[in-house]
Amino acid sequence: MIPSLFKRRSYSGGPHFDELSSFCFDLEGIALELTLPASNAKWQDPPRPLNFPFNTPGWFEANSKRPNLRAWVHIYTEIWYYFPVRLQRLVNLAAMGTNTEMGNLSIGVHLNKLEGGRKLDPANPRALSDYINWEYDDFYESPEQGLYCKGNNYEVRTKYGKQYRQGLPEQDERDRQQYEAALSSELMPTPSHFDLRNFGGGLWTCFSLGKDGRMPAQNYCLPLSELFYLHIDIEPTFHLQHYKEMLEPDMLSAADWLVQHIKITFPNKSGATLALPH
């Protein structure tokens, strides 16, 4: 009982579940509804459109940006911060020289388009996981270098493979361990495994994404057409490993709640109605 109480009193913040808001968006006739708890973030999300006519020729290209491996149209982002209280403030000051936030939990919603001339097969429920695997392999494992981290993992494997004689008979155990440690620290993460989950009115392709020792981001992808899919990621961030152990139970519970309050309604189904965010 005492350790549990101490942990609860050592931080504040996170999602405020006693104050909820609903946000509804029209994705070319497909209704997306998010129910989210209030946030303590001191930032302004820019005005967001309610309608996303992604099938209109040229609309996606005119409204998308490419910050990493894929081009996407931003739909919504929310973030919840966790702050230290009482004794934990002193721990922060000693460890980081600051008593600001310990970490945060975020949710991001994006609209993505398939690339490389590929299309989704509506009859194959695993077609989206096949595409996402190809997407990560093409971006990180390709020998081609380019913007952002394109080819990053190929370059890292090549560099450290030569340095630690990977695959050669004379490689010793120490070299092997150093090689694996170097890869672990520098490789960009790729999906660890895929799963299909039926929730909120759709069959979602789910996967985790994160480096060893970190609480991974959870990704939920839903096909909208042959060329487009919806992507929702719920990601935790910690400033110290100590905070991960402290905040992880709360963040896992909050992330599960967020997923349970996602609702998608296709045109041939009754359900969500579109409304202005409030």
Q: How far apart are CA 34 and CA 243, in angstroms?
A: 28
Amino acid (1-letter code) at residue 27: L
Looking from the CA of 105 toward its CB, the CA atoms found within 13 Å total 28
**8 Å CB contact between 229 and 128:** yes
Helix axes 173-186, 152-163, angle to 10 degrees: 160
Q: What pLDDT does residue 256 have? A: 96
Q: What pLDDT does residue 41 have? A: 84
Helix (H) or strand (E) segment spanning residue 146: none
Q: What pLDDT does residue 4 have? A: 41
144 DSSP β-pair partners: none
Other Cβ atoms less than 10 A from the Cβ of 31: the count is: 20
Q: What pLDDT does residue 268 have? A: 75
3-state secondary structure of 104: strand
Which residue's entry shows tokens 């709640």? Answer: 257
Q: How far apart are the first and last CA of the chain?
A: 39
pLDDT tens over the chain, length 278 residues:
333 433 445 788 899 999 999 999 999 999 999 999 999 887 666 667 899 999 999 999 999 999 888 999 999 999 999 988 876 666 665 566 666 788 999 999 999 999 999 999 989 999 999 999 999 999 998 888 877 778 999 999 888 888 877 666 666 777 778 888 888 888 888 997 899 999 999 999 999 998 765 678 999 999 999 999 999 999 999 888 888 888 999 999 999 999 999 999 998 765 443 333 33
Q: How far apart are CA 81 and CA 59, in angstroms?
A: 34
Angle formed at CA 207 by CA 266 and CA 247, multiple of 5 degrees: 110
